[in-house]
Structure 1
Amino acid sequence: MRAVFDGFWSGYVQPLLQRPVRVQMAALCYRTMDAKKQILLITSRDTGRWIIPKGWPISGKTSCETALQEAWEEAGVKSGSSETEAIGSYTYEKRFDNGLSATVETTVYPVAVETLSDSFPEADERNRKWVSPKEAANLVAEPELKKLLEDFD
């Protein structure tokens, strides 16, 4: 009887109760200074932790176009170029204003920054700074993002 219950639970009930993974697109903004790459990190609006620009899919935009849009809105990347191929992804737990959370799969696109603006939509809500890939990896919290940053160097 227990085996039947376990099979029913794991095969039918548990998958129905699990929330689907949500997806976001992120911009790994970088520049080269003195033949060394630097990564642009920004602070999150809620906790102030260091992150890279990211956001939900935007209707009518490709994933890499969405990443570029987020780079503008959250970090002030006025002009930059993005690869159409992602360099990887990472997961994190997104906490919503209502107290609930969800796992988010975030696809990361490299963005070569050409021009930064000091006036951008979220300028008053975030800080930003340029750091080495190694320092960026030490500053972010998500283990899979740390690995992407370490490998980006």
Structure 2
Amino acid sequence: MKKKAKKKLAPKTMRRQVAALPICHDESGNPRVLLISSRETQRPVIPKGWQMKGKPDHLAAEIEAFEEAGVKGRISKKPVGTYRYWKRLSDQFALVDVDVYALEVAEHCLEWPEQEQRQARWFSPEDAALLIDEPLLAALIRRLV
């Protein structure tokens, strides 16, 4: 009888990513949060990625925001919060801490590198927090905006 292969958990070393939390205000002054779809599962997430060699983390988060969501603006130099999640890798899961930087969006571009792979949509902070799977990120969105 053949045993079913189990996904392995990554070694205990903590991994770190950086993320941008894109925020703007509508015509009435109400805050809005931009969520994008993840590539594989299409679930709502914020733009994030691995740290970039030779770049400060806040600038790496700003780059991810443009590549994944097509937004540009003013990014905070210090994280506004952190959350943890399980990242699915090719053959294992890894626990990842994500430093989140607030991005005051000044421009939503018509074209960006991953626009064919993701959907981007603005939400009220309350709705964005309800759609996010990670409880710590949802709490961060509620607290920040």
Partner of 1:82: 75
| Higher alpha-carbon Rg | 1
- Give the letter aligned to residue 81 of structure 1: R
The percentage of counterpart residues that share the same residue type is 38
Q: 1:148, 1:118 → 2: CA distance?
A: 28
Partner of 1:50: 44
Q: 1:26, 1:68 → 2: CA distance?
A: 8
Number of equivalences: 135
Q: 2:75, 2:116 → 1: CA distance?
A: 25
Q: What secondary structure does 1:47 align onto?
A: coil
Please tell me whether residue 66 in structure 1 is matched to residue 60 in structure 2.
yes
Task: Using structure 2 for the length normalisation, give the TM-score.
Answer: 0.90
Q: What secondary structure does 1:110 align onto?
A: strand
Name which of 10, 25, 29 aligns with 1:32: 25
Name which of 126, 133, 142 aligns with 1:141: 133
Q: What secondary structure does 1:19 align onto?
A: coil
Q: What secondary structure does 1:55 align onto?
A: strand
Once superposed, which parts of structure 1, at least 4 consecutive aligned residues long, lie more than 3 Å away? none
- Give the letter aligned to residue 113 of structure 2: P
- Give the letter aligned to residue 90 of structure 1: Y
Q: 2:110, 2:32 → 1: CA distance?
A: 18
Let me know the Cα RMSD of the aligned residues.
Answer: 1.2
- Give the letter aligned to residue 85 of structure 1: K
Q: 1:32, 1:120 → 2: CA distance?
A: 22
Structure 2 gap segments, 5+ residues each: 1-9
Q: What secondary structure does 2:65 align onto?
A: helix
Structure 1 gap segments, 5+ residues each: 1-16
Q: What secondary structure does 2:17 align onto?
A: strand
Q: 2:22, 2:57 → 1: CA distance?
A: 15
Partner of 1:122: 114
Q: Deviations over 1:25-60 (max 9, x none)?
A: 000001011111100000000100000000000111
Task: Using structure 1 for the length normalisation, give the TM-score.
Answer: 0.85
Please tell me whether residue 95 in structure 1 is matched to residue 88 in structure 2.
yes
Q: 1:82, 1:18 → 2: CA distance?
A: 32
Q: What secondary structure does 2:58 align onto?
A: helix
Q: What secondary structure does 2:127 align onto?
A: helix
